Amino acid sequence: MTTVAAEEAPPLSALRARVRAATLRPQIDAENEILADLNPQEAPLAAAEARAARWVQAARADKRSRPFIEQMLEQFPLD
């Protein structure tokens, strides 16, 4: 069974070839390529960060006897 994430990821041989090619390049070139690869992910990452910040604010603002995080862990226990 194949997942969507696995179908979108490049094959390991392609990733290994990129690593070998990048071994002796100038660091600034490698950094710029990595940053360019991350650009499409900026919006989802910013949305996740904003959502997490709202959760933290809600947890800190909760003045009930049991903190929000305890209620959340009770509802969604970690096994």
| CA–CA separation, 42 and 45 (whole Å) | 5
Q: pLDDT 10s digit of each residue in the chain, 79 long?
A: 444 454 577 788 888 888 888 788 898 988 898 888 888 888 998 999 999 999 999 888 877 767 777 888 888 887 7
The 3-state DSSP class for residue 71 equals helix
Put simply, whether the predicted model's pTM sits higher than 0.75 gets the answer no
Burial class (CB in 10 A: 0-12, 13-18, 19+), 59: middle
Alpha-carbon gap, residue 46 to 52, rounded angstroms = 10
**Nearest to residue 38, comparing CAs of 46, 50, 49?**
46
